[in-house]
Chains A and B, each alone.
Chain A
Amino acid sequence: MNTTHRTPRLFLLYMLAYLLLMEWLIPLPEVSKTAFVPVFMAGAAFFFLVVFLGFSWWMTLFLMTAGTLFSLHLIFLDSVFFSPAWWDVLIGNVTQNVHFIVNGQWHMLTDFFRSMLFFCLLAIMSYLIYFWIVQARRILFFFIFTVIYIAVMDTFLPYDGAQAIVRIFVLGFVLMALLQWDRLTLFFPEGRKKGMWLRWLLASAALLIIAAGVGIAAPKSAPQWPDPVPFLESQTGLGNENGYGANNVRKIGYGDDDERLGGGFEMDDSPVFVATGDSDGYFRGEAKNIYTGHGWVSDVPNDTAHESMLYAEEVKTEEKTIEIDMAQNRAYDFVFYPGSLKSVRIPGQEEADVQVGVHSGRANIVVNEASYEPAVYTVTYEEPQFSEDMLQASGSQDPVEITSHYLQLPDDLPTAIGELAEALTSDADNRYDKVRAIEEYFHGPDFVYDTVNIAVPSEEEDYVEQFLFETQRGYCDNFSTSMAVMLRTLDIPTRWVKGFTKGDSLEQNGDRQVQEVTNAHAHSWVEVYFPDVGWVPFEPTRGFGSHADYVNETNEAESDTQEEEEEEETEESTDTEQEEAAAASSNYTVWPYIVGGILLIGGLVLFYYRFRFLKAFLLVRFKQMNNAAAFTRAFHALLWLLEAAGYKRKQSETLREYAHRLDGDFNTTDMINLTIIYEKIHYGKQTNQADWPAVFSVWENMVNRINA
């Protein structure tokens, strides 16, 4: 067995060194494109823990590999963890990159592979630091390099290391002081008194805090050289645009112009309105029907009505109201509403009239024949419930006014889009199943939800084609446009709808929920026309649930419905959350990972404290030691525990020899006393003469000594 005991003290030292290593990771997001630094940190923490617990080499290797793969999975991979597809992606990526390395094409290495190498580096570092801390008891080398690293970062890159250097100073010197104590007591063991270490720690920490405080408070002379960063940036042409990709970044939100879609955007959490009601559907703004190849425009007649008649008579609906309170600086001359609008009431404006575009569904407010921007309004609307049977039974005989407006496609639309749509829907024999097939395709693992690194198609390129066949990365506009266009290639009338998702729940007011909708909730989706049903909304965007109710009347308890419910749960997740948690953006819930993680950590804790648990268990188990049989079992349990703790009895060793050896190690006579009792029982057949409580306490002492 290893002679170094894993004491809490060593653990503290090792964790301090971990924090020191983390100082290397902290600047990364600022100076490079590295994202997901918390995942790297967590991975490194896991490696450190694994190394510290001192598993056998194959266990360490296994855990580290598993940790690396899981972290990579969190960052990059969207397939189900450990599924065949997942392995395909992984192995494909690795072989491709190995190929690049062999050919010297270093610049071609993918982020995935570089991250993998980075994890390997972290794993090696965790072992190296373990060696420094636990075996060599020296850290100066690493400490100096950390300081140099931060200094270089601070000087030549835009990273501000002022606080980092203070943290490193304190961490590094505390570590050095504690390691120095370890080395000193190695030569002067008499210093290893109880409480001495704590005093040493407090003294050195106090000294360091004073030193750091003086350092921070003291006046500092200005830098001798001018800051090289602006110079470097101007020379290299970097920097002024925040590094990269600033050309197409815009803020998310609701706008009228959708002619050019694409490009990334920044999240904007400024509120748009607060809705009070019991709706859980999206808020509809308007629909557009002409796809230009780059975006959407509208060319429908301006016919208006007093309500939006989205659904046919046959659709089961429920009439509800919702109150919408616009944010201060937000004003639109039309209203946002869930479901199908029936009427709008504006307090103080009894004459207000609502004119709903028959095609767009845009509900303009008109007061005295002029457009009006209401600050507060109450919408009465119909919330539909679609029967899947009804949708499947719906024919494909669309009225002319529908086919004339909603089947348009650009003349130069790439044929590949239509071919893909055909291929995806070849198994479906009705419109509803086709639509579902296409929608499902976008939920597949090929597509990534992202709002930042989004391409803008060039003048010659088609927006949908680029998304479907090149990038497969995007947000709601990409998904909804692609779905609408694909369906149109199948002669299914569709339109592109924009509005807002449900928003964040602020509070529950009786049965009415108060929802805050911000710019970040701006969204777009698809409506598909079904004869005798009307316009049915669908949600192709990854990570967003369907907001309409589809009811399977034949068997409500079927798994289909359950999926629906699950999806409704994820519906609340907003764009912002999506961006942060890549794993959550997939259809799969995060629970298995959380449970798995807890189990793993629990397992490690159990493993680390296994002796405590075992000992506690044994002490309870054999509390009633009052006869020879119980003693025998307890004694054998003790032998087993000793063996597990690394004090294995050699097979040629008699119990007495073993007991003498142990007593030598533990500096007691307990084991030999227990052995003599055992011998008496087993070799002498004398079972009724021990003072069992006393024997138990001897046994208890021995058990407690193990690993002590």
Chain B
Amino acid sequence: MSEGRSALKAVIENVERVVVGKREEIELSLTALLARGHVLLEDVPGVGKTMMVKAIARSVGAEFNRIQFTPDLLPSDVTGVSIFNQKSLEFEFRPGPIMGNIILADEINRTSPKTQSALLEALEENHVTVDGKTRALQDLFFVMATQNPVEYSGTYPLPEAQLDRFLLKLKMGYPSYEEELEILNRTAKHHPIDDLQAVLALEDIYLMHKEVHHVHVEDTIQQYILSVVTETRTHRDIHLGVSPRGTIALMKAAQAYAYVKERDYVIPDDVKYLAPFVLSHRLLLRSDIQMTEKSGETIIKEILQTLRVPLSKKEAVR
């Protein structure tokens, strides 16, 4: 197990050579990747979303595809299409970009709901249905979808129910002055992404997927997760709380994060740290609250500030 974890460290360092000062986001992305989840990135263009995904893909030796969502994009443009082969007189399936390992789905709120649901089905079911035929996706299938929060005209916001297909919702944010200076220095001659070598093979990732399942989650941690989730269901600012799917997601994310942090057990800090990323997009706030500055993230943080962190009992160990 320790081998895999030190390899992860190498991945993080590798990605950091390209993406400056985004260690948290890199770790979280890897967390989602290891938990077999997907990430929704909400940020303005040009802050390094593509670079990060590309760098991760290269570091793990995975196939990287990018889908630029536009209003006229069709579901088959995502999933692939069967074409009649004139030579063999048969329909031949041409796989779409979703058949890759690591996919950047850029600006998914720009495309029609029909295309969106094609993508979201893939996210949840890990397979796509084309021409009535179900086709499985790759074993390593990791989507990083981005949403532009600034422009609203001509967009199709994702339905709330579909948002919780994403394990985490992240924001990149602008780099600091020093970080941006560092970016300038690095990219002056040529882009560092071109030099990036794979430090892992896909098989390593499959192994890690299995290992993450064995990360220990103590009873008290589960209780803590449940207390957070339960609180969202009774909170007065929240119309609709976190579903059991969200509960599972929080635990899976905590396991994967503990693994990224080179531990084989989850601690309360993992849960506390991940809860805003895992839960905030799964909430439906009350309409009057939506008008205010209060976001799901701040409400989750408020809840965490009031909940008791359970310590294990003294008698737990003899």
**Interface residues, chain A, with chain B CB atoms under 8 Å away:** 628-629, 632-633, 636, 651-657, 679-687
For A652, what are the chain B residues with a Cβ–Cβ distance below 8 Å? 304-309
B308 with A632: CB separation less than 8 A = no
Question: Could you list 12 examples of A-B contacts with CB < 8 Å?
Answer: A632-B314, A636-B314, A651-B308, A652-B306, A653-B309, A654-B269, A681-B317, A682-B311, A683-B265, A684-B263, A684-B264, A685-B265
B269 with A656: CB separation less than 8 A = yes
Is B216 an interface residue when CB atoms closer than 8 A count as contact? yes
B314 with A683: CB separation less than 8 A = no
* Residue interface mask B285-318, A partner, CB < 8 A = 1: 0000000000000000000111111011010111
B307 with A685: CB separation less than 8 A = no
Contact residue range for chain B?
Answer: 20 to 34
Q: What distance in Å separates the Cβ of A677 from its nearest Cβ neighbour in chain B?
A: 12
For A636, what are the chain B residues with a Cβ–Cβ distance below 8 Å? 314
Which of B220, B307, B308, B312 is the most central at the interface, judged by chain A CB atoms within 10 Å of its CB? B312
For A683, what are the chain B residues with a Cβ–Cβ distance below 8 Å? 216, 218, 220-221, 265-268, 312
With A652-B305, A653-B309, A683-B218 already in contact, 18 other A-B pairs whose C-beta atoms are closer than 8 Å = A628-B317, A652-B309, A654-B268, A654-B269, A654-B272, A655-B309, A655-B311, A656-B267, A679-B267, A680-B265, A682-B220, A682-B311, A682-B317, A683-B221, A683-B266, A684-B216, A684-B263, A687-B317
**Docked complex: B209-266 residues within 8 A CB-CB of A:** 216, 218, 220-221, 263-266
The A/B interface has a contact count, at CB < 8 Å, of: 60
Q: What distance in Å separates the Cβ of A612 from its nearest Cβ neighbour in chain B?
A: 25
For A656, what are the chain B residues with a Cβ–Cβ distance below 8 Å? 267-269
CA distance in complex: A653, B272 (Å): 9
For A686, what are the chain B residues with a Cβ–Cβ distance below 8 Å? 265
For A633, what are the chain B residues with a Cβ–Cβ distance below 8 Å? 314
Q: What distance in Å separates the Cβ of B81 from its nearest Cβ neighbour in chain A?
A: 49
For B309, what are the chain A residues with a Cβ–Cβ distance below 8 Å? 651-655
For B312, what are the chain A residues with a Cβ–Cβ distance below 8 Å? 682-683
A629 with B265: CB separation less than 8 A = no
Q: Tell me the nearest residue of chain B to A636, going by C-beta.
A: B314
Q: What distance in Å separates the Cβ of A662 from its nearest Cβ neighbour in chain B?
A: 15
For A687, what are the chain B residues with a Cβ–Cβ distance below 8 Å? 317
CA distance in complex: A652, B307 (Å): 5
Q: What distance in Å separates the Cβ of A671 from its nearest Cβ neighbour in chain B?
A: 14
Q: What distance in Å separates the Cβ of B271 from its nearest Cβ neighbour in chain A?
A: 9
Q: What distance in Å separates the Cβ of A678 from its nearest Cβ neighbour in chain B?
A: 9
Q: What distance in Å separates the Cβ of A636 from its nearest Cβ neighbour in chain B?
A: 5
CA distance in complex: A633, B314 (Å): 7
Which of B218, B268, B316, B317 is the most central at the interface, judged by chain A CB atoms within 10 Å of its CB? B317
Given A683-B218, A687-B317, CB of A654 within 8 Å of CB of B308: no
Q: What distance in Å separates the Cβ of B305 from its nearest Cβ neighbour in chain A?
A: 5
From B263, B269, B317, contact of A629 by CB (8 A)? B317
* Residue interface mask B83-102, A partner, CB < 8 A = 1: 00000000000000000000
CA distance in complex: A684, B216 (Å): 6
Which of A633, A636, A652, A686 is the most central at the interface, judged by chain B CB atoms within 10 Å of its CB? A652
Q: Tell me the nearest residue of chain B to A630, going by C-beta.
A: B317
Q: What distance in Å separates the Cβ of A441 from its nearest Cβ neighbour in chain B?
A: 63
CA distance in complex: A224, B308 (Å): 78
For B306, what are the chain A residues with a Cβ–Cβ distance below 8 Å? 652
Which of A651, A653, A655, A684 is the most central at the interface, judged by chain B CB atoms within 10 Å of its CB? A684
A657 with B308: CB separation less than 8 A = no
Q: What distance in Å separates the Cβ of A408 from its nearest Cβ neighbour in chain B?
A: 85
CA distance in complex: A365, B269 (Å): 104
For B316, what are the chain A residues with a Cβ–Cβ distance below 8 Å? 632, 682
Q: Tell me the nearest residue of chain A to B273, going by C-beta.
A: A654
CA distance in complex: A680, B265 (Å): 8
Chain A to chain B: the 10 pairs with minimum beta-carbon distance, closest first: A684-B265, A682-B312, A651-B308, A654-B268, A683-B265, A654-B269, A683-B218, A656-B269, A628-B317, A679-B267
B267 with A654: CB separation less than 8 A = yes
For B307, what are the chain A residues with a Cβ–Cβ distance below 8 Å? 651-652
For A680, what are the chain B residues with a Cβ–Cβ distance below 8 Å? 265
For B318, what are the chain A residues with a Cβ–Cβ distance below 8 Å? 629
For B221, what are the chain A residues with a Cβ–Cβ distance below 8 Å? 683
Q: Tell me the nearest residue of chain A to B215, going by C-beta.
A: A684
Q: What distance in Å separates the Cβ of A396 from its nearest Cβ neighbour in chain B?
A: 78
CA distance in complex: A655, B270 (Å): 12
CA distance in complex: A633, B318 (Å): 10
For B265, what are the chain A residues with a Cβ–Cβ distance below 8 Å? 679-680, 683-686
For A681, what are the chain B residues with a Cβ–Cβ distance below 8 Å? 317
Q: What distance in Å separates the Cβ of B69 from its nearest Cβ neighbour in chain A?
A: 39
Q: Tell me the nearest residue of chain A to B305, going by C-beta.
A: A652
For B314, what are the chain A residues with a Cβ–Cβ distance below 8 Å? 632-633, 636
For A684, what are the chain B residues with a Cβ–Cβ distance below 8 Å? 216, 263-265
For B220, what are the chain A residues with a Cβ–Cβ distance below 8 Å? 682-683
For B268, what are the chain A residues with a Cβ–Cβ distance below 8 Å? 654-656, 683
Which of B220, B306, B309 is the most central at the interface, judged by chain A CB atoms within 10 Å of its CB? B309
Q: Tell me the nearest residue of chain B to A633, going by C-beta.
A: B314
Q: What distance in Å separates the Cβ of B315 from its nearest Cβ neighbour in chain A?
A: 9
CA distance in complex: A415, B166 (Å): 107
For B216, what are the chain A residues with a Cβ–Cβ distance below 8 Å? 683-685
CA distance in complex: A680, B264 (Å): 9
Q: Tell me the nearest residue of chain B to A628, going by C-beta.
A: B317
CA distance in complex: A684, B268 (Å): 12
CA distance in complex: A694, B188 (Å): 50
CA distance in complex: A685, B308 (Å): 22
CA distance in complex: A657, B270 (Å): 11
CA distance in complex: A651, B312 (Å): 13
For A679, what are the chain B residues with a Cβ–Cβ distance below 8 Å? 265, 267
CA distance in complex: A687, B267 (Å): 16
Q: Tell me the nearest residue of chain A to B308, going by C-beta.
A: A651
CA distance in complex: A339, B309 (Å): 84
B218 with A682: CB separation less than 8 A = yes
CA distance in complex: A652, B272 (Å): 10
For B317, what are the chain A residues with a Cβ–Cβ distance below 8 Å? 628-629, 632, 681-682, 687
Q: What distance in Å separates the Cβ of B160 from its nearest Cβ neighbour in chain A?
A: 28
Q: Tell me the nearest residue of chain A to B316, going by C-beta.
A: A682
CA distance in complex: A679, B316 (Å): 12
Q: What distance in Å separates the Cβ of A684 from its nearest Cβ neighbour in chain B?
A: 3
CA distance in complex: A682, B266 (Å): 10
CA distance in complex: A652, B269 (Å): 11
